[in-house]
Structure 1
């Protein structure tokens, strides 16, 4: 009796273990077959028909429906101009598909009809709005002409005529008849040189400038309050000249004539 009992006690019970990582189960094999099964011919036909229908619906919605048509035009970024002036100059095609609007043509109309506008970004705002983001030109100098004042920006562009000169904007005088500057550079370039000279000045000195006189590209003179005059030379090295002039005005308070045309060798005198 002891033999069989001992034999049964010595027997090891065998239980099925978990499948090894490299051996996929039947469920995994079935899932793999479903996952990588290519659509049949019928499935491809259905997918193609759905894509065509969706594409046709999208084209109809954008071009033929009443959902995405121009209903509003809005202008931002104006200072002197009004948003209404900008919108009128843009002349947007109202009640037309928003997607078909020629935004470049609208931008050209605004800048050509409103010289004060330096640039304008025209953007579509879905579903029915066009946005006009304007950057206006600002006067760096003004020119006296026929009893009025013509505003000139930093690029030398004449962009607006006003009855009264803006406060704090110096007067620009071009006196170039006896010099070769206009033939070499043109008045546009000379206006720009004068504007660049005014721009480079410190705020404190800029407030004292009354006139920027340009006789040639290399001969720019600044007339300040108190009868003071500054020989600026050309518009090159403007930032360095501005620093030197600020220091010179503080060091020689009794002087009336200053020369910073060569910033490394400035000069000041009373006469």
Structure 2
């Protein structure tokens, strides 16, 4: 108790922080300066990078090369590919439109199956190309058209290719034309040619197509193979390979039912 007549000492007023709140921190002047300097440095680096990529002469396209993917056929020349690619020499590497170059080449050169455009920093561009392989050839107004395994006609030639089967359709009176038009049947016949092992494909002179269900192979040594429809072509090719080894003197083979192949003649 305070004594009578005495004055109670003043209590210091203190503002206690409310529950759950902490006093805010203020950046010191030095911290603010460092932050501003860091932002300026970052903006400067970004600006310099953009200038180096697009405005300077350091990273410009100076050389374009063409390379065929491993094992790819080579009928086109590097000059043909370079001419149609039209890669802009002297342009910034960063602005190279790879998709546009690929589309341009595939549209201008049907022989090309695929194209890859790659940057070879700091100054080079590489064009990696793959050409289509002919699985068959068909008569065309200018001679013969090469057809790949996908049924794409990609080139016309004056003389037939050796060791590539020639498709000869004769379907005018075939009843199956109502269900399978000639174009579809030709595509299926190309699949037959693509299914043949290379040694057998090289010995196949003609693939004669009377209807969808009546395809016949004529071999270079005057032997014939009744193939039937294009269905189960892989199994038929395997059966024919075994049958020809088992009956080397036979003149006629029938693999229309691959599980029961037959040979005759000879």
Structure 2 residue aligned with 1:119, among 114, 123, 129?
A: 114
Which TM-score applies when normalising by structure 2?
0.79
Give matches, 1:40-51, under 5 Å: 40-51=31-42
Selected match of 1:59 from 44, 47, 50: 50
Shift of 1:173: 1.4
Secondary structure at the aligned position of 2:187 is classed as helix
Equivalence for 1:267: 262
**Structure 2: runs of 5+ lacking an equivalent:** 1-29
Q: Is the 8 A contact 1:121 1:132 kept in 2?
A: yes
Q: Any idea what the Cα deviations from partners look like across 1:207-243, whole Å, max 9, x if unmatched?
A: 3211012344433221113332212123332222112
Q: Is the 8 A contact 1:157 1:188 kept in 2?
A: no
Structure 1 residue matching 2:263: 3-state secondary structure:
strand
Contact between 2:142 and 2:157, CA under 8 Å: does it hold in 1?
no
Partners of 1:147 and 1:89 in 2: CA distance: 24
Residue in structure 1 matching 2:83, options 80, 88, 93: 88
Give the drift of 1:184.
Answer: 5.3
Whether the 8 Å CA contact 1:156–1:188 is kept in 2: the answer is no
Once residues 183 and 165 of structure 1 are traced to their aligned partners in structure 2, the CA distance between those partners, rounded to angstroms, is 31
In the superposition, the TM-score normalised over structure 1's length comes to 0.77
Q: 1:262 offset after TM fit, Å? A: 1.3
User: Contact 2:236 / 2:255 at 8 angstroms: preserved in 1?
Assistant: yes
Report whether the alignment pairs 1:69 with 2:60. yes
Distance 1:113 1:50, change over 3 A: same
Query: Which whole-Å deviations, capped at 9, do the CAs of 1:15-51 have from their partners, x for residues lacking one?
Result: xxxxxxxxxxxxxxxxxxxxxxxx9222211111110
Any unmatched runs of 5+ in structure 1? Answer: 1-38
User: How far apart, in 2, do the equivalents of 1:129 and 1:87 lie?
Assistant: 13
Aligned residue-pair number = 233
Distance 1:154 1:137 in 2: 9
Residue 164 of structure 2 corresponds to: 169
Aligned to 2:185: 190
1:221-232 counterparts in 2 under 5 A? Answer: 221-232=216-227
